[in-house]
């Protein structure tokens, strides 16, 4: 009789998928390196434990294991979500095979279901954005109301101050007034997307891109090359042109700012690309066609510590940045049944805007 554990299993450590071999009680008798990575624990720790005990919802594993023990199948494939205490759930493609070893009869292969992980991540981001928006809007209103009062009071106070000799006091009131004005500007930007109703008309996306191009070139006239890579067959669509310009401009503006060192060297490049994409999922809805727009720069990339948060308000990696540009851009694009995604590494940052077409 075969004893699989006495054979050489070292080669399995080279596999990308996780492989686990279970004994007749469903306990883990072997795990390859990928399994340790996936389970985020070492074989030493879970050796001899029942696989189903590692998860909150292990019942499904128990029942599949029992079916395997009764030889109801030789091989079974299934998508499964396994939940763990205090960690992200694992979304997996699982293959359970019955093998010819009486002591270790079940081999399980697990691979992360990347598509599902991505969908879940997008869903989380979407929920979070929604909650954020609500919070910001309420907070901005709360700040806005007393702010006028504070500024007004400081002005009155200043008028009451006797003339000479009290310059110091006037400096204090000026600080209050200036800081109130700064906050006012911030709050106005926070509330901007909620203030003006959308003005919808026929939009040609290339007019939007061309406007952004000329605005960026006006600000960065030297050392920045803007490459236009347009698919001129793209259809017009219904949208708010000013909002779209603002969204694309915010992204392109960040890129140009990140390119500053390369602009100085003279090899900064910004690519504006327009394409059509088919069969796209945006915010859990599937669309047959979508605009697929890219703003790509060859700058240093987004700092690792910001990467997951760049679309959050007030997150900035720039001196003097208010961290609202991408938040606003995302809001505007979402109002067009779209989404902005970002991929970035040193030398290549690609902001992708998807907008659903009817």
Ligand X SMILES: Nc1ncnc2c1ncn2[C@@H]1O[C@H](COP(=O)(O)OP(=O)(O)OP(=O)(O)O)[C@@H](O)[C@H]1O
- 316 lines the binding site for ligand X (CB under 6 A): yes
Cβ-contact 50, 26 below 8 angstroms: yes
Give the Cβ contact number of residue 196 at 10 Å. 11
Binding residue for ligand X, selected from 266, 321, 346, 347, defined by CB under 6 A: 321
CA distances from 352 to 138, 251, 348 (A): 30, 10, 13
Name the nearest CA neighbour of 301 among 342, 347, 257.
347
Report the partner that residue 306 touches, choosing among Mg ion, ligand X, none (CB closer than 5 to 8 A by kind). ligand X
Binding residue for ligand X, selected from 250, 274, 334, 337, defined by CB under 6 A: 250
Fill in the per-residue mask, 270 to 299: x = in contact with ligand X (CB under 6 A), - = not in contact.
---------------------------x-x
Instruction: Return the residue matching tokens 């359970």.
Output: 96
Report the partner that residue 272 touches, choosing among Mg ion, ligand X, none (CB closer than 5 to 8 A by kind). none
Instruction: Return the residues of window 208-267 that contact Mg ion according to CB under 5 A.
Output: 254
- 326 lines the binding site for ligand X (CB under 6 A): yes
Taken as a whole, the chain contains a residue count of 358
Rounded to whole angstroms, the Cα distance separating 255 from 233 reads: 26
- 349 lines the binding site for ligand X (CB under 6 A): yes
- 93 lines the binding site for ligand X (CB under 6 A): no
Report the partner that residue 180 touches, choosing among ligand X, Mg ion, none (CB closer than 5 to 8 A by kind). none
- 338 lines the binding site for Mg ion (CB under 5 A): no
Return all residues near 310 (Cβ < 8 A) that are at least 6 apart: 302, 326, 342
Rounded to whole angstroms, the Cα distance separating 243 from 208 reads: 10
CA distances from 169 to 147, 163, 166, 181 (A): 20, 11, 5, 19
Fill in the per-residue mask, 316 to 335: x = in contact with Mg ion (CB under 5 A), - = not in contact.
---------x----------
Q: Which residues bind ligand X (CB under 6 A)?
A: 250, 254-255, 258, 297, 299, 301-302, 306, 310, 315-318, 321-327, 349
Q: Which residues bind Mg ion (CB under 5 A)?
A: 254, 325
């Amino acid at each position: 009789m075969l004893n699989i554990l006495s054979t050489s299993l070292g080669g399995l450590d080279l596999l990308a998928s996780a492989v686990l071999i279970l004994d007749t009680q469903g306990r883990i008798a072997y795990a390859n390196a990928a399994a340790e990575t996936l389970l985020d624990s070492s074989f030493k720790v879970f050796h001899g434990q029942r696989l189903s005990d590692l998860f909150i919802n292990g019942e499904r594993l128990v029942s599949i294991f029992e079916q395997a023990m009764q030889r109801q199948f030789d091989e079974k494939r299934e998508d499964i979500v396994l939940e763990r205490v205090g960690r992200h759930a694992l979304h997996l493609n699982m293959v359970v095979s019955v093998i010819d070893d009486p002591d270790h009869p079940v081999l399980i292969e697990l691979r992360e279901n990347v598509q599902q992980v991505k969908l879940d991540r997008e869903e989380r981001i979407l929920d979070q954005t929604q909650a954020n928006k609500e919070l910001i809007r309420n907070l901005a209103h709360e700040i806005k109301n007393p702010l006028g009062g504070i500024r007004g009071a400081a002005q009155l106070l200043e008028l009451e101050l006797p003339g000479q000799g009290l310059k110091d006091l006037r400096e204090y009131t000026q600080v209050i007034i200036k800081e109130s004005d700064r906050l006012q500007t911030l709050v106005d930007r926070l509330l901007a997307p909620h203030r003006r109703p959308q003005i919808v008309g026929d939009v040609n996306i290339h007019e939007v891109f061309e406007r952004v191009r000329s605005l960026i070139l006006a600000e960065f006239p030297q050392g920045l090359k803007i490459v236009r890579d347009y698919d001129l067959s793209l259809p017009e669509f219904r949208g708010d042109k000013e909002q779209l310009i603002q969204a694309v401009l915010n992204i392109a503006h960040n890129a140009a700012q990140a390119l500053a060192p390369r602009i100085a060297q003279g090899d900064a490049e910004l690519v504006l690309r327009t394409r059509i994409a088919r069969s796209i999922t945006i915010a859990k809805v599937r669309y047959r066609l979508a605009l697929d727009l890219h703003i790509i720069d060859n700058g240093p990339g987004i700092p690792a510590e910001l990467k997951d948060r760049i679309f959050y308000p007030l997150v900035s990696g720039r001196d003097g940045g208010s961290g609202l540009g991408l938040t606003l851009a995302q809001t505007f694009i979402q109002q067009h049944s779209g989404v902005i995604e970002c991929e970035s590494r040193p030398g290549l940052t690609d902001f992708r805007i998807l907008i659903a077409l009817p």
